[in-house]
Amino acid sequence: MPENETTAPSLENLLHETRAFPPSPAFAAQANAQASLYEEAKADRLGFWADQARELVTWSTPFTQTLDWSGAPVAKWFADGKLNAAYNAVDRHVEAGLGDRVAIHFEGEPGDTRTVTYADLQREVSRAANALTALGVTQGDRVVIYLPMLVESVVAMLACARIGAPHSVVFGGFSADALRSRIADAEAKLVITADGGYRRGAPSALKPAVDEAVGPKDGEPASTVEHVLVVRRTGQDVAWTEGRDVWWHDALEHADTFHEPVAVDAEHPLFILYTSGTTGKPKGILHTTGGYLTQAAYTHKNVFDLKAESDVYWCTADIGWVTGHTYVVYGPLANGATQVIYEGTPDTPHRGRWWELVEKYQVSILYTAPTAIRTCMKWGEDIPAGFDLSSLRVLGSVGEPINPEAWMWYRRVIGGDTAPIVDTWWQTETGGIMISPLPGVTATKPGSAQVALPGIVADVVDDEAHSVPDGGGGYLVLSEPWPSMLRGIWGDLQRFKDTYWSRFEGLYFAGDGAKKDEDGDIWLLGRVDDVMNVSGHRLSTTEIESALVSHDVVAEAAVVGANDETTGQAVVAFVILRGEHADRASTPEGAEEVQAELRNHVAKEIGPIAKPRRILVVPELPKTRSGKIMRRLLRDVAENRTVGDATTLADSSVMDLISAGLAKPS
Ligand code: WT7
């Protein structure tokens, strides 16, 4: 079990938040999802999902069975149906006469652009599928994709889907070692990579990591990889292994633009995506085709209120994460959307780059992460204010609980006080959104994901798996199978059962703490291993972070529980001050004053018990490449230990920066 796990939370933390924002009548009237969707799903849950699957997905062999749960916890959805995910994402739109619709507005970091229509995409994906076949990849073979955010990345994923070869995308920021272990675990036959990509204004190489990952190393034999397909992006020099390495453009140039998609069983593996557990080796989360695609399309259409003919959608996630799989590739394309894909970082060449793109492409739906929103808060609202953001009509948030202050900032500064915010809770394992407001139905509350989507059954339970009453807290569980649920951990059925199904009999345990408010709405409190116990009181790191960020001077905050002899744990907070206040902490007196102010502020917001024992003003926070704060490293600092393994940080110099700044005792 996760460390620090105790009984259900007892704090009245985020429940002080009482603001609510009902949808405007105009938005509600035009929304895809109406309140009746909940009724419909409730009346006949399986029938509801079967309807979605028939309506939103095109089957080459229609299914007759909806759910087979006899092999629980491994579900089968729509099992006797056959389909192809790439056909659904591309060809059927061309067949419907929409070939000229833009599928992707690509924007490279250096400013190069490319417009790809659905007809273009069909030709490219078909070519790539033929090229993969020519390289010996057949149905069932695993292909690892290690690419920056390029059009080719989307094409590569769809080409795999088209021939029934499960892809395993490894985020381009991962190291050669991480890549090597994933290739080995998946026993991949082929790797698709690039010479490099543009990051912060400079080419950043990728191919050397692949060379290191696939060759023999430290007595280990060379990997199972037979070919490496290389996209030319930056033009930088690459080492070349004759016979193994093939240029993407060469392979595609000679490939036919026609390819017949392979109809696979609904339960055929579509992809494996590795996510790190708290310890041990990464878990290869397995997703299959029919159920996954159904939920991807259904959630994308209803949660974002997508109008494919008029919206311009932009999800800022990298394809290396599940958000990029479901909400850059499969969901939007299955729905025939027009979307923006941006290669680079939000601050290159200037901190308004994202907002410039929103203005340029008239983006109407934006889906991003709280960490990005808080970073923008830190940079100051005058930056987005310099751009026309009036095209935005729906805003999404994902990845971690969004603190009410960041939510309010997002709504006001980015959404012009009108665009509904959907705070979407889900996981790599769930494959698609599970808990979220519906933008035309739900009165949204800052900081809460609120309600299980129609067709999804979620609950908050106590240690004995009893549903907690409204106002109570405990563990988030999913009580009924859902179409896009993981079908296992690649090659490790036992670990799948142990990790998710052993804590509570018959329930999927998500690993998150949660609370129900008086309306029964769900508030996520963060992973249970991020929950602290101070003098027998359960405190959420999220909640204290939220309190800190609600203070004017704080841009970002991370809280950890440091071991303490008397109280069990003590709250230690790391804060980044907002630009205009950063100077205040530059003298010892100033720092002390800020710390006292913040301690009192937390005491006021939550209660004296939550007052941080120590508050450390730092220039940066250690984050993984997916934007998650690595509290483990902060705990090391808070407990005066040597800082542990920091190799998965997005920027490995951050810990040095923090330690150097803290050399003087605060
Ligand atoms: C964990 C899953 C889902 C795609 C990106 C992350 C946290 C995610 C929310 C949210 C509160 C959230 C949970 C979850 N999380 N979305 N809206 N509110 N927490 O995928 O890496 O698999 O992480 O992210 O703790 O368990 P992931």
Reply yes or no on domain 35-456 having CATH 3.40.50.12780: yes
Pocket of ligand 1 (CB under 6 A): 275, 322-323, 398-401, 423-428, 449, 510-512, 524, 527, 626
> What ipTM does the predicted assembly reach?
0.99
* pLDDT score of 33 more than 90: yes
Do 75 and 61 contact (CB within 8 A), yes or no? no
| Residue whose C-alpha is closest to residue 38's, from 520, 523, 400 | 520
Instruction: Quick: pLDDT tens for 77-128.
Output: 999 999 999 999 999 999 999 999 999 999 999 999 999 999 999 999 999 9
Q: Which residues pair with 452 in a beta bridge?
A: 435
**Ligand 1 atom with least separation from CA of 423:** 17
Distance 209 CA to ligand 1 centre (A): 28
**Ligand 1 atom with least separation from CA of 449:** 17
Element housing 361 (H / E): helix 353-361
Which tokens belong to 414? 């980015």
- Residue 246 is predicted with a pLDDT of 98
Q: Hey, CA dihedral for 297, 298, 302, 304, is it positive or negative? A: negative
Greatest alpha-carbon span in the chain: 73
Residue nearest to atom 2 of ligand 1 (CA): 427
CB neighbour list of residue 430: distance below 8 Å, 6 or more residues apart: 478, 482, 484, 485, 486, 510
535-662: CATH, from 3.10.20.740, 3.40.190.10, 3.90.1150.10, 3.30.300.30: 3.30.300.30
Q: How large is the angle between the packed helices 45-56 and 290-303, nearest 10 degrees? A: 90
Distance 281 CA to ligand 1 centre (A): 20
Residue nearest to atom 14 of ligand 1 (CA): 427
CB neighbour list of residue 247: distance below 8 Å, 6 or more residues apart: 229, 230, 232
The predicted model scores a pTM of 0.84
The Cα 116–Cα 99 span in angstroms is 10
Do 207 and 238 contact (CB within 8 A), yes or no? yes
The Cα 136–Cα 125 span in angstroms is 17
Do 476 and 514 contact (CB within 8 A), yes or no? yes
The Cα 434–Cα 424 span in angstroms is 7
Distance 426 CA to ligand 1 centre (A): 5
**Which of 264-273, 408-417, 589-598 comes out lowest in average pLDDT?**
589-598
The Cα 72–Cα 583 span in angstroms is 57
Q: What is the residue type of 565?
A: E
Q: How confident is the model at residue 12 (pLDDT cuts 50, 70, 90)?
A: very low
Element housing 130 (H / E): helix 118-134
* pLDDT score of 278 more than 80: no
* pLDDT score of 648 more than 80: no
Residue nearest to atom 18 of ligand 1 (CA): 401
**Ligand 1 atom with least separation from CA of 511:** 26
Q: What is the residue type of 452?
A: A
- Residue 163 is predicted with a pLDDT of 98
The Cα 377–Cα 255 span in angstroms is 48
35-456 and 535-662: same fold?
no
Instruction: Quick: pLDDT tens for 130-182.
Output: 999 999 999 999 999 999 999 999 999 999 999 999 999 998 877 787 799 89
CA of 63: how far to CAs of 130, 261, 328, 487, in Å?
Answer: 28, 18, 27, 19
Residues annotated within the binding site are 199-202, 323, 399-401, 423-428, 512, 527, 535, 538, 549, 551, 554
Distance 43 CA to ligand 1 centre (A): 29
CA of 494: how far to CAs of 68, 73, 77, 478, in Å?
Answer: 20, 11, 21, 19
Distance 69 CA to ligand 1 centre (A): 26
**Ligand 1 atom with least separation from CA of 429:** 22
Structural domain boundaries of the chain?
35-456, 535-662
CA atoms within 13 A on the CB side of 86: 32
The Cα 271–Cα 499 span in angstroms is 20
Q: What is the residue type of 416?
A: G
Average pLDDT on 323-337 reads: 98
Which tokens belong to 213? 């990952």
Share the mean pLDDT of the chain: 91
Element housing 297 (H / E): helix 290-303
Residue nearest to atom 19 of ligand 1 (CA): 400
Residue nearest to atom 5 of ligand 1 (CA): 399
DSSP 457-486: -EEEE-TTSPBPPTT-EEEEEE-S--TT--
Instruction: Quick: pLDDT tens for 524-541.
Output: 987 776 667 676 555 678
Do 515 and 15 contact (CB within 8 A), yes or no? yes
Secondary structure class of 62 (helix, strand, coil)? coil
Rg of the Cα trace of the chain? 24
Distance 399 CA to ligand 1 centre (A): 4
Element housing 299 (H / E): helix 290-303
**Ligand 1 atom with least separation from CA of 626:** 21
CB neighbour list of residue 171: distance below 8 Å, 6 or more residues apart: 318, 320, 321, 625, 626
Which tokens belong to 239? 């080492």
Residue nearest to atom 6 of ligand 1 (CA): 399
CA of 126: how far to CAs of 114, 120, 324, 371, 550, in Å?
Answer: 19, 10, 21, 37, 51
Q: How far apart are the first and last CA of the chain?
A: 34
- Residue 603 is predicted with a pLDDT of 83
Residues annotated within the binding site for Mg(2+) are 549, 551, 554
**Ligand 1 atom with least separation from CA of 510:** 26
Distance 509 CA to ligand 1 centre (A): 13
Distance 430 CA to ligand 1 centre (A): 10
Do 401 and 525 contact (CB within 8 A), yes or no? yes
Answer left, alpha or beta for residue 644, where phi above 0 means left and psi between -120 and 50 means alpha.
beta
Residues annotated within the binding site for ATP are 399-401, 423-428, 512, 527, 538
The Cα 157–Cα 180 span in angstroms is 19
Instruction: Quick: pLDDT tens for 477-533.
Output: 999 999 999 999 999 999 999 989 999 999 999 888 899 999 999 999 877 766 676
Task: Enter the DSSP assignment of 18.
Answer: -
Distance 247 CA to ligand 1 centre (A): 36
Secondary structure class of 99 (helix, strand, coil)? coil
Q: Hey, CA dihedral for 648, 653, 659, 661, is it positive or negative? A: negative
- Residue 371 is predicted with a pLDDT of 82
Residue nearest to atom 13 of ligand 1 (CA): 400
Instruction: Quick: pLDDT tens for 49-60.
Output: 999 999 999 999
* pLDDT score of 410 more than 60: yes
Q: How confident is the model at residue 14 (pLDDT cuts 50, 70, 90)?
A: low
Sheet containing 508-516: give its strands across. Answer: 458-461, 473-478, 508-516, 522-527
The Cα 573–Cα 541 span in angstroms is 9
